[in-house]
Amino acid sequence: MTLPDHHLTTGEKRIRSFHPHWKRMVVPFIALVLIVLAFGAALFFIPSTWQYAFYGRVAAGVIAVLLLTVWSFVPYLQWRNTGYVLTSHRFTISTGVLNKSTDEIPLTKVNSVSSDQAFFERILGCGTLTVESASDEGQLVLRDIPRIQDVRADLFRAVEDISDGQVDGQ
């Protein structure tokens, strides 16, 4: 996922790979259900005796496909093509469907790691992870991280290991 094993450097190990939390897909799923229901209702209520029934059904289908594409399919592709990879040397964030954008933070540049969870996010086990680094961007805010406490602990442990010279369990 997002960082193939052949792109890892010598001695670098993958610690964790994940996508944003599934809660990002709740609204697109609701949109999918509502659009399909509306399309079914349109087909049901367009009278077959109407002179333009065929064109009405085709128009309803075209509108349904366009709405599904914009409100369900595109968000799904964005969610599916956003990935985070934590290795023993770096934290990689990869986004993009047609164009790919990859940001990497070397663990040696990480200054601090913090997390933030709203009440509902605590119930779902996700939250916002903030990584401060000694780079030009300074701070990276990652929203909807699943199992955020585990990710935070793994990231913090990897940063500690690399700062102690304990990379790869040496």
pLDDT tens figures, 25-81 = 999 999 999 999 999 999 999 998 999 999 999 999 999 999 999 999 999 999 999
Q: What gap in Å lies between CA 132 and CA 120, rounded to an integer?
A: 25
Q: What gap in Å lies between CA 146 and CA 111, rounded to an integer?
A: 22
Find where tokens 């599934």 sit: 22
Residue 58 CA from chain centroid, whole number: 34
Q: What gap in Å lies between CA 127 and CA 90, rounded to an integer?
A: 21
H or E element: which one contains 54?
Answer: helix 53-68
Collapse the DSSP code of 160 into the 3-class scheme (helix H, G, I; strand E, B; otherwise coil) and give the result: helix
> Does 148 score more than 90 pLDDT?
yes
Q: Is residue 170 very low, low, confident or very high in pLDDT (cuts 50, 70, 90)?
A: very low
pTM higher than 0.85 for the full model? no
- Residues 115-147, buried b or exposed e (16+ Cβ, 10 A)? bebeeebeebebbbbbbbbeeeeeebebebbbb
